[in-house]
Amino acid sequence: MPADTTATPQPGDPGEAEDRARLESVTSLAKRRGFVFQSSEIYGGLNAVWDYGPLGVRLRRNVRDSWWRRVVDLREDVEGLECSILMNPQVWVASGHVDTFADPLVDCLGACHMRWRADQLASDRCPNCGGPLSPPRQFNLMFRTFVGPVEDASATVYLRPETAQGMFVNFRNVLQTSRQRLPFGIAQIGRSFRNEISPGNFIFRCREFEQMEMEWFCAPGEDEEWFRYWCDDQREWIRQLGVRDANLRMRPHTPQELAHYARAATDIEYRFPFGWGELEGIARRGDYDLRRHQEVSGKDLTYPDPATGGHTLPVVVEPAVSLERLVITLLLDAYQEEEVRGERRVVLRLAPQVAPYQVAVLPLSKRPELVEPARRLAADLRRQLATDYDETQSIGRRYRRQDEIGTPLCVTLDFDTLSDGAATIRGRDTMDQVRVGLERIGDACRDRLTGASVGGV
């Protein structure tokens, strides 16, 4: 499998302290506002395993829905699939994971006894204590468990390290039931598990994560053109999520780092505070996967071409992205601190289509004559838009709270509302305010959210 080539800033690099502070600020905000929590925190947590709070669930769902709509719903040539996490262990023998899905592991022989990935170290000394390191040995990253009451080798199964193999082993089923013709794709969103040696950088590298993958099957000789197509398509989708293009780059893999199955691969990388890192990978997998599963299972996985009467083994292009890495990218890219009228303001400039809430309804006071119409308005808006309601603390504090969680619009009902039947719509980024009649609030909010440029609500 390809090595993770994430670059790490070295001590003394310009901007290192600022980058580290930015990551710490986003990590703190994520917990404080309910995006991400440490799993099992009351018991001390579990390293590199995370839970997602009320806002994190909303953000993840929005990103997930956006990918599915672009890749599946708006196309007639991609079918969806949901495969089980546990699979026959022969799947992982055929795919090469049992023999090759490993990283080089070294142990510190000095004072700290920590373990490291050898390919991520800049020297042969321990980064933590400076002690000597053991010779590297290969460490398989798949989690193992057992099926049935007896824990022996015959009952061993694996938690899947990727979702791709479920789509390959179901290729014939999908082909027969969907009546698709080459080229076509199979897409899946689901959990994967990797026993990482050196997880870290918040949710960038986890042991349990969610993947959004698509296997694009095409005729031999067509994969290079489709490879370029999916590279361009996925970069444009990430940009439409609100990620600034200046922070993205395409990095082709060198021949030395290509996976054993890959003819070519390109990573869409983001400029993280800890260096450039993979956000999404697009690979030309050739016919390796279908050929291996055909060989090991003995089942025919060729494509019967009615036009020629012949059979061919399709080749594959695979766009694969981690939902966790998209979430941390969106938070980092949207996070800004600024001074407004002598006060520090933290704002998440999330694009409206991914923000946990699109609008918040805020009555100026808790008096019933304002709370009742405000709650009615919020209930009406919820039928159209993701809507929050907040009546606690001063209006200034509530604005800051909504700014910090990325809500593009706030609607404030004040005492003038009782006489003029209107409310104030405030934009998150410009903080401009406009008075709109209550009967037109929904339309006005939709117009502003739809017509807003990224970061300009």
- Note whether residue 6 is domain-resident: no
The answer to the question of residue 141 being in a domain is: no
Is the pLDDT confidence value at 214 over 80? yes
CA distances from 257 to 122, 162, 199, 291, 338 (A): 17, 19, 20, 22, 41
Q: Which residues pair with 283 in a beta bridge?
A: 265, 318
User: CA-CA distance, 336 to 204, in Å (whole number)?
Assistant: 20
Mean of pLDDT values over 415-442: 96
| Residues 307, 369 share a domain | no
The predicted pLDDT at position 305 comes to 79
Query: What pLDDT does 7 receive?
Result: 47
**What is residue 15's predicted lDDT score, i.e. its pLDDT?**
64
Residues 324 and 368 in one domain: no
Kindly tell me if the per-residue pLDDT of 226 is higher than 90: yes
Let me know whether 361 and 327 are in one domain: no
Residues 87-112 have pLDDT tens digits of 999 999 999 888 887 788 898 999 99
Q: What is the spatial distance between Cα 278 and Cα 275, in angstroms, rounded to a whole number? A: 10
Query: Is 90 exceeded by the pLDDT of residue 13?
Result: no
322 closest CA partner among 73, 109, 17, 4: 4
Question: Span 321-342, mean pLDDT?
Answer: 94
Summary mean pLDDT of the chain:
91
Does residue 310 have a pLDDT over 70?
Answer: yes
**Pair (291, 187) in one structural domain:** yes
For residues 327-350, average pLDDT:
93
Per-residue pLDDT band at 10 (split at 50, 70, 90): very low
> Would the pLDDT of 5 be above 70?
no
Expressed as residue numbers, the domain containing 385 is: 357-451
**Domain for residue 245, yes or no?**
yes
Domain shared by 240 and 380, yes or no: no
CATH number of the domain residue 408 falls in: 3.40.50.800
What pTM value is reported for the model? Answer: 0.89
CATH code for the domain in which residue 220 is found = 3.30.930.10
Torsion from C-alpha of 411, 414, 418, 422, nearest 10 degrees: -30
Q: What is the mean pLDDT of residues 332-338?
A: 95
* Same-domain pairing of 304 and 419: no
Indicate if 367 and 309 belong to the same structural domain.
Answer: no
Token pair of 135 as six digits: 């010779």
Question: Residue 454: pLDDT above 60?
Answer: no
3 has a pLDDT exceeding 50: no
CB atoms near residue 214 (< 10 Å):
28
pLDDT of residue 329: 97
Out of 54-58, 65-69, 127-131, 212-216, pick the least confident: 127-131
Q: How many CA atoms lie within 13 A of 183 on its CB side?
A: 20
User: How many domains in the chain?
Assistant: 2
Domain check: are 317 and 441 in the same one?
no
Residues 427 and 300 in one domain: no
Report which of 292, 284, 251 is spatially closest to residue 268, judged by C-alpha positions.
251
Q: Which residues of 265-302 are buried (b: 16+ CB within 10 A; e: fewer)?
A: bbbbbbbbbbbbbbbbbbbbbbbbbbbbbbeeeeeebb
pLDDT in tens, 364-393: 999 999 999 999 999 999 999 999 999 999
Q: In angstroms, rounded to a whole number, what is the distance separating the alpha carbons of residues 436 and 417?
A: 10
pLDDT of residue 198: 76
| 205 and 252 part of one domain | yes
Are 173 and 32 part of one and the same domain? yes
pLDDT of residue 309: 81
Q: How many whole angstroms from its chain centre is CA 143? A: 22
- Res. 456: pLDDT tops 80: no
